[in-house]
Amino acid sequence: MLMTNNQIESEEPAARRAAAKNRNPQQGKVFDRAKRTSTDANETMNKAASKKTSELLHRREAPLETRTDLTASATKDITATMNAVLADVFALYVKTKNFHWHMSGPHFRDYHLLLDEHADQLFAMTDPIAERVRKIGGLTLRSIGQISRTQRVLDNDAEYVEPLDMLAELADDNKTFAARLREAHNVCDEHRDVATEFDRSLDRRD
């Protein structure tokens, strides 16, 4: 029986595939093994990544390990007290610089330099206070927003303030701030945290 050209052309690809399969019967098995190996490797990598992520999250949520004999309650109280002091220092610093920048009048130079010097002394207090909070295992201020929520010193956003009114307002703020420093000393004394209580940063402006 004679075959047409179309029949011959349609049967040739099938014949070639069958011949190739017969020549290399293990090819399909090798491909399957490679595919399974790749899948297993991906699963292993995903598990390792997931474990690492879980460990990092656990470390981030874990309390700071600090060598201190202060109790957790003492650390919490002292941290809150010192962070409030720190926020007041920043607020008082900015207000002092505000009045320094906007000073006017016949005594401009004297008052201008006085407030600049005072602001420098205030700013010098910030780092020791924040680092002391970290040393006892607490967390300190992170942002302007947190300072704004924590500060007790009132801002002054007036477009113009008389020079003597500036000095009077700062004098009142510093008097109140000194009283709050004594309160902070009392909290530290209550928990026998002598190191924070006698931190020289609290006496920088004497």
Q: Per residue in 128-162, pLDDT tens?
A: 999 999 999 999 999 999 999 999 999 999 999 99
The Cα–Cα gap between 186 and 181 comes to 9
Token pair of 76 as six digits: 């919490």
Helical spans, DSSP H, in 62-158: 72-101, 108-135, 144-150
Token pair of 103 as six digits: 């000073």
CATH number of 72-203: 1.20.1260.10
Token pair of 11 as six digits: 């049967």
Task: Write the pLDDT tens digit of every residue in 55-105.
Answer: 777 666 665 667 788 899 999 999 999 999 999 999 999 999 999 999 999
Amino acid at 139: L
Average pLDDT over residues 158-171: 98
Residues 6 or more apart in contact with residue 93 via CB below 8 angstroms: 119, 122, 123, 126
Please answer whether residues 133 and 89 qualify as being in contact, where contact means their C-beta atoms are separated by less than 8 angstroms.
no
Radius of gyration of the chain (CA): 36
pTM, 2 dp: 0.69
- In Å, how far are 25, 41, 50, 128 from 38, measured between CA atoms? 22, 5, 18, 55
Higher pLDDT, 187 or 28: 187
- In Å, how far are 132, 178, 189 from 206, measured between CA atoms? 20, 10, 21
